[in-house]
Structure 1
Amino acid sequence: MEVEAAIDLKQMQQSAENASQFLRSLANRDRLMLLCHLTEGEACVGDLEALTGIRQPSLSQQLGVLRREGLIEPRKQGKNVYYRIASDNVRAMLAQLYLMFCSQETGNER
């Protein structure tokens, strides 16, 4: 029984670490804005700059963080790089955040 509890504890610790890293990746206003726009579909860097008002080099820096963390995927077409959301987990979290903070139904309550 103690061995099973130790394994469960290690698994729980690893899961908590993974969740913590995921939340740290989201815990930035600019990154959240980029991800929110990407929920509408793929976009190139120029489009994201125009949509969010985030200027270079900050835009590239935040896209780099999202890419390294596996939250977005790039696709190169000619000279343009297009980005899209990389997983359903990211979409699900953004949908929940939208319901909590952005939808008309919530009235932006906290």
Structure 2
Amino acid sequence: MTNVEGCRQTDDVVELLKQLANANRLAIISSLLEGPRSVTELELVLSIRQPTLSQQITSLREAGIIEGHREGRHIIYSLVDERTTTVMRFLANIYPDMIPEQVRILPPFGYIDCAKLPDMIVNMRLSMQDAS
């Protein structure tokens, strides 16, 4: 509990900022700003190892920031907290490179065959290297 009298939402703000203060969680949330993503997509696009990704997704789910649902073999995550979305869009305006290019150009889940995803990621990374 906070000692700030009359500020009932202070605890909520502190919890949101704690969630955003982790680089992996920030990357996950940034990716989900562009649309729902499967765990496979998040893992490959963000280059976050599966155990770390699972831990951070659990934290975000418990905080009520994201939700997941099953579609076939895939668990699809999306942002569900409008306050987080508003804060992240604000941050993205200030820091336009906060959302990695490979996330911005990847279509939302359901528009691509996940079996082809690893090849797509490799090709995106190679084209980004060629552009630099």
TM-score (norm 1): 0.79
- Structure 2 gaps of 5+ residues are 98-132
Of 45, 49, 74, 1:51 maps to: 45
Corresponding residue of 1:32:
26
Contact 2:16–2:84 at 8 Å: present in 1 too? no
Q: Which runs of 4+ in 1 moved over 4 A?
A: none
Q: Structure 2: which amino acid aligns with 1:84?
A: S
Residue 15 of structure 2 is aligned to residue 21 of structure 1: yes
Residue 82 of structure 2 is aligned to residue 88 of structure 1: yes
Question: RMSD of the TM alignment (CA)?
Answer: 1.5
Shift, 1:87, TM fit: 2.0
TM-score (norm 2): 0.67
Shift, 1:36, TM fit: 0.7
Shift, 1:22, TM fit: 1.0
**How many residue pairs are counted as aligned between the two chains?**
94
Matches within 5 A, 1:94-105: 94-102=88-96
Between the aligned partners of 2:12 and 2:64, the Cα distance in structure 1 is 12
Shift, 1:102, TM fit: 2.2
The higher-RCO structure (CA 8 Å, 6+ apart) is: 2
* Identical pairs, percent: 30
Between the aligned partners of 1:21 and 1:39, the Cα distance in structure 2 is 19
Q: Structure 2: which amino acid aligns with 1:50?
A: L
Task: Please tell me whether Structure 1 or Structure 2 has the larger radius of gyration of its CA atoms.
Answer: 1
Of 52, 55, 60, 1:61 maps to: 55
